[in-house]
Structure 1
Amino acid sequence: MRVYNKLVRDLIPQVIENTGSKFTTRTLDPPEHLTEIKKKLFEEVQEFQVTTNHQDALEELADILELIHAALPIHEATYEDLEKRRIAKKEKRGGFEEGIFLIAVEDE
């Protein structure tokens, strides 16, 4: 038996069941769920970093976005709340579209 001990997408048990394999799962409580979301998010970001084409990059970005959606209810927030926060920060400090790379700031 192969041991995974990791957060998986909600339909993975059905996928495994359809193959005829036996498996064990449990439902995480909110603090554990958030911990595992953070671990999985780190994993997905690492996978995004090594992508070499647009298709793979979009797949990893979709996984990252799904994990963000999963984390929001744990923080008692909606995607709309997050989007408002994102827009407010962008209006105040800008986004990341222009690719500005800060090299140094001279101390006074």
Structure 2
Amino acid sequence: MPIYNKLVRDHIPQIIEQAGKVPKVKILDQASYTEELKLKLLEEANELRTAEEKTEIVEEAADLVEVVYMMLENQGITHEEVEQVRQQKKLERGGFKERLFLVEVHD
């Protein structure tokens, strides 16, 4: 019997049941949910980091974005707020398109 102890998507318990197994789940309190979202963010970012095939990259990126959206919703932050800050930072500091890698800075 595998033990997971991790945040899962909403339909995972039903999918497990359809496979003839019995999932044990609990509903997290707000503080635990916030912490588990942070852990899930790291999990999904790591999975995206190691993805190699285009379809796998798309799948992992979608998972990562879903977690980010839930983190925002959990904190009462809209996508528009984030997009406004993203664009402002890009205007002031640039993006990552030029592939610049800072090696060091001398005084």
Partner residue, 1:20: 20
Partner residue, 2:100: 100
Taking only aligned residues, the RMSD between alpha carbons, in angstroms, comes to: 1.2
Partner residue, 2:2: 2
Q: TM-score, normalised by structure 2?
A: 0.91
* Number of positions where the alignment pairs a residue of Structure 1 with one of Structure 2: 107
Q: Could you give the per-residue CA deviations for residues 37-71 of structure 1, whole angstroms, max 9, x where no partner exists?
A: 11111111111121222221111111110000110
Q: Could you give the per-residue CA deviations for residues 27-46 of structure 1, whole angstroms, max 9, x where no partner exists?
A: 11221111111111111111
1:53 partnered with 2:62? no
Q: Which ranges of structure 2 fall in alignment gaps of 5 or more residues?
A: none
Query: How far apart in 2 are the matches of 1:23 and 1:15?
Result: 9
Letter in 2 for 1:27: I
Q: Which ranges of structure 1 fall in alignment gaps of 5 or more residues?
A: none
Partner residue, 1:32: 32
SS of equivalent residue, structure 2 residue 105:
coil
Query: How far apart in 1 are the matches of 2:21 and 2:94?
Result: 50
Partner residue, 2:76: 76
**Could you tell me how far 1:103 is from its partner in structure 2?**
1.5
Query: How far apart in 2 are the matches of 1:52 and 1:73?
Result: 30
**Could you tell me how far 1:72 is from its partner in structure 2?**
0.6
Q: TM-score, normalised by structure 1?
A: 0.90
Query: How far apart in 2 are the matches of 1:98 and 1:53?
Result: 23
